[in-house]
Amino acid sequence: MFQLHQQTIAVASKASAKYTLATLKFALGTIRTPLYRAMTDMAEVKKKGADAVCLNNTSKNRGYRYVCKNYKYLHHVIHCDYMTTAEKMVALMDIPNIGPAKSGFILQMCIGEVGCIDCHNQKMFDIDRKDITLQKPAKLATKLKVAQNYIKLCENLGGTEYLWDNWCEFIADRHPTKFDDAYHVSQVHVDAIVSVV
């Protein structure tokens, strides 16, 4: 799943900032929202932009407006060869409503690094939320330390590919009426991102 679907997203993101923007919108749209709503929500975002009901949360809306305004810069950061992964995470955490988990998810999709330790993974791996949360505002050194610890945690849990595939299996089992299997869950990431472009 990861080998196919993440690579599809990564190739598109590297080739064009518009796909990076779509990936950023998808990451924001999936905050505290079930994945099975992704296609509907992303279609609404494509049609209504910041006025989409799925973005009526103030923080999500601020994040959406930020990525629309700064997506070329964020594209450069994500695909930059001279920045560390932790530095990339720090830059992404400047997006309103994006913390370590979603910055890790963005990098997982766009460059195949880090991962998303969302509420499901926190429970599955018995991770205390405060151990992976950044209290904003924070000094650069604090942000870098949080990012470095988060990256190390993802590696210790099995790495980006394992986190992706394991999460897809979990979601497929949790929502058998919404997804055919884990492959379907993984494919929704690609379909939702491509549908916004």
| pLDDT of amino acid 56 | 83
* Range ranked top by mean pLDDT from 3-7, 28-32, 133-137: 3-7
Model pLDDT, residue 147: 96
3-state secondary structure the chain: CHHHHHHHHHHHHHHCHHHHHHHHHHHHHCCCCCHHHHHHHHHHHHHHHHHCHHHCCHHHHHHHHHHHHHHHHHHHHHCCCCCCHHHHHHHHCCCCCCCHHHHHHHHHHHHCCCCCCCHHHHHHCCCCHHHHCCCCCCCHHHHHHHHHHHHHHHHHCCCHHHHHHHHHHHHHHHCCCCCCCHHHHHHHHHHHHHHHC
Q: What does the mean pLDDT of the chain come to? A: 94
In this structure, the number of other CB atoms found within 10 A of the CB of residue 11 comes to 11
- Give the model's pLDDT for residue 152: 96
| The residue to which tokens 């993974």 are assigned | 121
- The mean per-residue pLDDT over the stretch 98-110 comes to 96
Q: What is the mean pLDDT of residues 103-128?
A: 94
Residue 135 or residue 6, greater confidence = 6
Peptide bond just before 137 cis, omega within 30 deg:
yes
Q: Average pLDDT in the 4-12 region?
A: 96
Mean local confidence (pLDDT), 113-140: 88
pTM: 0.95
Contacts of 80 (CB under 8 A, 6+ apart): 88
pLDDT at 159 (0 to 100): 97
pLDDT digits (tens, 9 = 90+) for 50-82: 999 988 888 899 999 999 999 999 999 999 999
pLDDT at residue number 195: 73
